[in-house]
Chain A
Amino acid sequence: MGFFKKLKTGLSKTKENLFGRINKVVKGFSKVDEDLMEELEEILISADVGVVTTMEIMDELRDHIKTKKIKDPEKVPVELMEILKGLLTEKKYIDKPEQEKPNVILITGVNGAGKTTSIGKISRLMTERGKKVMIAAGDTFRAAAIEQLEIWAKRAKADFIHQREGSDPAAVIYDAIMAAKARNADYLICDTAGRLHNKKNLMMEMNKIFRVIMKELPDSRVETLLVIDATTGQNAVNQAEEFSRSIGVDGIILTKLDGTAKGGIIFSIYKQLNIPVKYIGVGEQIDDLEDFDEEMFVNALFESE
């Protein structure tokens, strides 16, 4: 509850900046021409959609306008909306079928993306659904990361497995797997230290963690989720690509959508890498996380006051 409103307030600025602007822009035009196209292009770019993806979307929009013989500039935003929605729904996140317990969720991302907070929120989502959740403190690097996660685990009423700061993250995950099996947990959610995707050693460490999970739980459903800060620019594509190379990212958690950032980078990620968004983060409270809903996402962008 309250999610739609939250997303709306979060995105209301977005709407003003982005699609509110579209409406304003088209009102200044009496016909559909290249100047209008250029304005729209700029608006997408200012939402972090990225130059190449914007060009592609604009080409598609031009096609639509041509084939549908659209003459009224005010009809253009609706068309654009359709394209954006289509792009997202076409590659929608699909849950893998559940298998043997525990289901594993491996969380990764660059530093400061919001991994720990997201884990708290996901755990809460699961415990509220009556699931037995265990959290593994795989961030053994950052100062007080373990303590931070422990507080979230308590809030989410999840079990918490950790070792000391500085210990081998793969070993922590291994222990957690054993514990999850022993305690018959429904979900094992693994935190990992934030790492920049261009650090080879850290990406290899990530891969090692992944391999430990795959080896110990070959019959479990393992989801790898990449946390991306919605404020991130074009670098998010590199992030998605590199983490994918290391552990095969199944889905994205798009965080910090309650600010003015638009998260438009996901369109590039969908287009170029086929990695869908699974969850979005819209606040700092434990229930400020929801399944990503493409329709709602785009609708909220276009919703008028």
Chain B
Amino acid sequence: MAHFIDRRLNSKGKSTVNRQRFIRRYKQQIKKAVSDSISKRSVTDVDTGEQVSIPTRDISEPVFHTGKGGKRNVIHPGNDQFSKGDKIKRPDGGGQGKGAGEGDASDSGEGQDDFVFQISKDEYLDLLFEDLELPNLQENQLDKLVQYKTYRAGYKSDGVPSTLDIVRSLKGSVARRVALTAGKRRKLAELEEELEKLKNDTHEHPIEIAAIEAQIEALKARIAAVPFIDTFDLKFRNFEKRPVPTSKAVMFCLMDVSGSMDQATKDVAKRFYILLYLFLTRTYKNVEVIYIRHHTQAKEVDEHEFFYSQETGGTIVSSALKMMQEIVADRFPSDEWNIYAAQASDGDNWADDSPNCSRILHSQLLPIVRYFAYIEITERQHQSLWREYNKLTQIHSNFAIKHIRSIEDIYPVFRELFDKNVSTQQGAA
């Protein structure tokens, strides 16, 4: 009688739309919580979702209901001590007696607690990166980001012997031979039949037989003259190259680890790198990260060493740029990889080195990278490096420099760097 249906395999996100509606409605509040969170939470769990809280009063759904006061009669179970007419002290905490309108409590009694809930990683990132766009992606996608992949695309009649398709060629040969000899073979068959008839005849026909035999000979010779294979029969496999946009990206993190960079400054830098990384992973399937740290010499290191090992000494920024250039030339050809770089520094550099840096960037790095961001984390005056870099920003649209003072600045600066407007302007230019 009953009809059983297994619904377990149905999609489970039936409420997703409603959930999105909710998030849409409270976007302002949620967004604020999200941008607060980036400066608060530990850098290592930036890849997970985020707890968001909204004041309950903002999301209440008001209905008419009764308030405190008046006269109420309530029935309770489990009388263990009362008799009619007993007077009891009103319980503390709320004027109305215990359970005065239990049904009301859910409407009014929730207090001012915040409505706290978890948004998923994707929702978190969407909110975080809303209005942001990958710089320069649009205009470069057509020319540089493209790789080619070879596909089979039918047959052609000329080509190199290695692409010769034997089966296809022999099929052509058979077809050609059949086509060229069909008429002759029919004639031959007729002649042979006639010859047979003449030979079996009771009368002798030596002259006719000789004539027919001569014809047969001639036909056979002509059939044999059709070549077994002709250049006309040869078929070669055709290949075609199609463009495939590459989804590979490499991100270079360059950081000054000289004595002047303290751990707090490095943490600021780290957050910036994490934002950039997350940002890139949203567009590219796999993003490689190369860490290059430098003082007077540059070194490629792993993540932990990059952020946490302590070095001392002077600063020569160009060493890191040179190293980056070598690594690009060696491992990341710029026609296959989307190259991004972010350099963080406190602005210190050996004064004579700054023009060097500028020159390397200008002539070698900036032409091949998608985007190069330089952030200076300092509270002091700008020094020679900033001034040199500043000149470069006039020339190269894919080069940007920003000044960060404290952790709170990171997110706004990041937004500014990757603002949609900027990149559309660049795209138009």
- The answer to whether A and B come from one shared complex is no
Interface, chain A (partner B; CB < 8 A):
none
Residues of B that sit less than 8 Å from A by CB: none
